[in-house]
Structure 1
């Protein structure tokens, strides 16, 4: 986005930071914790990461279906491993970055979302942060708490 509007560039970068933190959390989850669920019921850690990816796809389908090429839902109850979740999350994050960039450079709107692209990025970040908290809690309740480096590292918003 060189030469782009600095506000549009900042929105894309902010989204990228949030998506990077979601991936950082996934990378810090032990394989044994992927099937953890609070109190043994509800969404598992794996399902929560799948949900994040699938909600990203929901927005792409509504706003820019052309950006969904090669992307597929993971779905609740999936048995995909870390690598497959990481690949899915990376791909959906990249597609959303294009949506955010194009929306910010255009009329400032995201089709199907009100009021504007800045609020859309806020929504995405809030949604993902909510579920990252659920992931951390589920892992802890399963006796597999996050490493302190990961817990504190999620708050490192500096661009690396």
Structure 2
């Protein structure tokens, strides 16, 4: 199980690695299709984690703050909240693997991990595209670094 939890943490570090490479001002970039701002994409990842925690293990929500319209989003708060929600999801995964299920999700905990990583990776791609369309693409080192799971 430790490799599965480590996979989750590697994935989260990749998200934070991308966030670190983005200049604060570019968090306001919006995709050409008028979707969410870059900052709102990161906030969405956190909020979806919280949604699943609320369904499957509400006791793990303690200390987490949902991003809403009243919260001023910046890199610092994104790093803090994404780190906290990653820890809570890791606890949920451990609980799920011990019990053989994630409440509210089928078929099993491994599929839940796959779902979370797929969902967040989709949004990471949207973030990359938004930045590129806005003329603020992340540097090639970071682009390749997103795939260096062995060193993250």
TM range (shorter): over 0.9
Superposed, which structure 2 residues align to 1:57-68 within 5 Å?
57-68=50-61
Aligned with 2:138 (options 141, 146, 152): 146
Cα deviation per residue 1:114-153 (whole Å; 9 max; x = unaligned)?
0000000000000010000000010111110011111110
Question: TM-score w.r.t. structure 2 length?
Answer: 0.95
Q: What's the counterpart of residue 11 of structure 1?
A: 4
**CA–CA distance in structure 2, aligned partners of residues 131 and 73 of structure 1:** 18
Aligned residues: 152
Q: What's the counterpart of residue 100 of structure 2?
A: 108
Cα deviation per residue 1:47-100 (whole Å; 9 max; x = unaligned)?
100000000000100000000001011136853110001001000000000111
Q: What's the counterpart of residue 99 of structure 1?
A: 92
Indicate if the aligned counterparts of 1:50 and 1:76 stay in contact, CA closer than 8 A.
no
In the alignment, structure 1 residue 124 sits paired with structure 2 residue 116: yes
Question: TM-score w.r.t. structure 1 length?
Answer: 0.90
Range with greater deviation from structure 2 (83-92 or 37-46): 37-46
Indicate if the aligned counterparts of 1:33 and 1:45 stay in contact, CA closer than 8 A.
yes
Indicate if the aligned counterparts of 1:45 and 1:138 stay in contact, CA closer than 8 A.
yes
**CA–CA distance in structure 1, aligned partners of residues 147 and 106 of structure 2:** 28
In the alignment, structure 1 residue 43 sits paired with structure 2 residue 36: yes
**CA–CA distance in structure 1, aligned partners of residues 46 and 54 of structure 2:** 12
**CA–CA distance in structure 2, aligned partners of residues 49 and 58 of structure 1:** 15
